[in-house]
Structure 1
Amino acid sequence: MAEEIKSDIQIAEEWLEWSISDWKKEQNRLRIGKTKTLLNSLRGNISGGEGIRVQVEVFYAWYGQMVDMGVGRGTRSGGQKDNSTMRRVLGKGAGHDRKAKRWYSKGKASMGFQTIRLATLLGEAKAKEAVRKIANSVDHKHVITIK
């Protein structure tokens, strides 16, 4: 029995569910946010259709990037290294204690990894579709005549 080939939209919808789930797991693992505002802000949208380019949009609260970089409220991106050095030398009372919590920019939860994962899934689906079209177009009856 031949397996069903999923459409680009179906694949994108499944990928979006997986990706958002992975990002939420990563936020929980890193203990990001006491109010869960960032966690609850994660959502996505898929537009397009068959024969049209599929577009996937991911939305989250803007300060999610600040959490990922370890900056915010008095901490500059360039000053984070200085603050961590001061804290190491002078103790926990010195400098800001913000640390980067890489929930979307590093590892298997990263945007880049997830995008490659989507491209791989879509590529596999297109390859299966091409194989099916070729297999269905080939006449399986072979006649050999020898004189």
Structure 2
Amino acid sequence: MTVDVGGWPGVPGGPTLRLGDRDGGVTALRARLAAEGYGAGSGDLALFDAELEAALRAFQDLHGLEVDGVLGPATRAALNVTAAERLAQIDANLERWRWMPHAPPGYRLEVDTGAQEAVLYSGGTPVQRMR
């Protein structure tokens, strides 16, 4: 789905969901992940199964979230970022990237304020990470 056709569906508020849960919110979660291409299909759409957990873990990993396979508040918030908001983030990051040196120095500290994480590089290799 693209921004032009309305983006993707949101995930309504509700309880924390994890493997084995059965809830109406599971169907919305499955539809949201499928809209972005994560394999989240199942025979029982209301059951939080292993396939849905794997798709959610992949989403969490790609978005810098704690990879626990659980639909908690932080993951729900990331899933509910609209396609227009995500596009604006991508545009801003591309503009930032355009102004960065093409070959970063080997010894540097990179701070990701969104993920609240800092990474220290030495010789171009990450040597320490901290939140």
Structure ranking higher on relative contact order (CA contacts 8 Å, 6+ apart): 1
Q: TM-score range, shorter-chain basis?
A: under 0.3
More strand by share: 2
TM-score normalised to the size of structure 2?
0.22
More helix by share: 1
TM-score normalised to the size of structure 1?
0.20
